[in-house]
Amino acid sequence: MERLHRDETRIGHGLARRLLAEQFPLLAQRPLRPSETQGTDNVVFRVGDDLALRLPRTPSAVPGLLLELEWLPRLAPELPLPVPVPIARGEPTESYPFPWSVCRWVDGRAADTARLRPDALAERLGRFVMRLQSIDTAGAPVADVGTRRAGSLAAFDDETMGALAEVRALMSARRIESDLCDPSMAQDLWGAALEAPTWGGDGVWLHRDLHADNLLVADGMLVGVVDFGGLVVGDPAGDAMAAWHLLAAPHRATFLRIVEADEATQLRARAWVLSQGLLALPYYLDSHAGMLRMARRAIRAALDSPV
């Protein structure tokens, strides 16, 4: 399996098969194959037709997997779309140092590679986000100021401006398209978002990573949402980001209306999209084509209109 991070554990078919054989021997008799779409936090294998094996790549991915194990079984019955509910927890071994999970497989193609009906996507995803935000947050993990895409933009000012400088250098060196990012527009957007009102209401449940690789589509319709490792309670701007990750202007407005995002929330969401794109582009430049597509789309969408 392709490695994406310096501290990544080597994960292959043989390791996955051994883990199942040692801890869930009945599942080890099933066909095992890598998922066509691989995330940046976990390596995913299909186990037969209805289950999936999720193996964290790095130590930093483990907390997200534990969140899924604890919270998805509770949240799933309340949600209007299928999600990959964990059914079993695997334990670390001598050959693999992290906990891992077996979860329900959710059918569909990643929205990154599927034909979409944007009108239906805006409606269905908007309803999904609103339903998630309406679920009781008692006992839930709560974002602090330093929680990415849920806390304070200001906490990520230096990191985001550093990433902008990296992207400028890549454009100057012609390693990426020279018109990908207007640095002045990027600074204007980021500065305006820092000055915008912060979220003053109660925190809401957030997915925090609603981009095309984490949305599943069939026949042009949204049919599932995956990768809930970012679950947290915080600023709704974290999921309003989907408007820029996935939708062009007319349908973007539909989604934002459904999720009841006010102007300040929209501005914070747009700035988070810009930050995510700027950070992802140099990091995945030579390793993950899907994340590069996401980063390019994010930067262009965040800057597609003046502040």
pLDDT in tens, 257-279: 999 999 999 999 999 999 999 99
Query: For the chain, which residues make up each domain, given as ranges?
Result: 13-105, 110-302
Alpha-carbon distances of 271 from 208, 224, 247, rounded to whole Å: 14, 26, 16
Question: How do beta strands 100-104 and 86-90 pair?
Answer: antiparallel
pLDDT in tens, 80-128: 999 999 999 999 999 999 999 999 999 999 887 667 889 999 999 999 9
Residue 36 pLDDT: 87
Token reading at 297 = 């789309």
Helix (H, G, I), strand (E, B) or coil at 164: helix
Q: Of all residues in the chain, what percent carry a pLDDT higher than 70?
A: 99
Alpha-carbon distances of 179 from 186, 194, 248, rounded to whole Å: 13, 25, 19
Residue 15 pLDDT: 97
One-letter amino acid for residue 226 of the chain: V
Spans of the chain below 50 pLDDT: none
| pTM (predicted TM-score) | 0.94
Site of tokens 């915080």: 234
Token reading at 83 = 């999600």
Give the max Cα distance, the chain: 58
The listed CATH number (3.30.300.20, 3.30.200.20, 3.40.50.720, 3.30.70.2740) that belongs to domain 13-105: 3.30.200.20
Residue 115 pLDDT: 78
Nearest CA to 290 out of 105, 111, 122, 148 is that of 111
One-letter amino acid for residue 278 of the chain: L
Alpha-carbon distances of 33 from 37, 57, 100, 108, 112, rounded to whole Å: 12, 17, 17, 16, 21
Residue 270 pLDDT: 98
Contacts of 83 (CB under 8 A, 6+ apart): 72, 75, 76, 106, 224, 225, 226, 228
Helix (H, G, I), strand (E, B) or coil at 86: strand
Residue 76 pLDDT: 98
Residue 114 pLDDT: 67
Sheet strands side by side (includes 215-218): 109-110, 215-218, 221-225
Q: Of all residues in the chain, what percent carry a pLDDT higher than 90?
A: 89
CA 4/CA 136 separation, integer angstroms? 36
Instruction: Give the burial string for 71-98 (b: 16+ CB within 10 Å, else e).
Output: bbeebbeebebbbbbbeeebeeeeebeb
Average pLDDT of the chain is 95
CATH superfamily of 110-302: Aminoglycoside phosphotransferase (APH), C-terminal lobe (3.90.1200.10)
Within the chain, residue ranges assigned H as helices are 13-23, 25-28, 62-75, 118-134, 157-172, 183-195, 237-240, 242-246, 249-258, 263-283, 289-302
* Dihedral in degrees, nearest 10, Cα atoms 75, 79, 83, 85: 30
CA 43/CA 27 separation, integer angstroms? 18
Site of tokens 């018109």: 179
Residue 113 pLDDT: 66
The answer to whether 164 touches 296, Cβ cutoff 8 Å, is: no
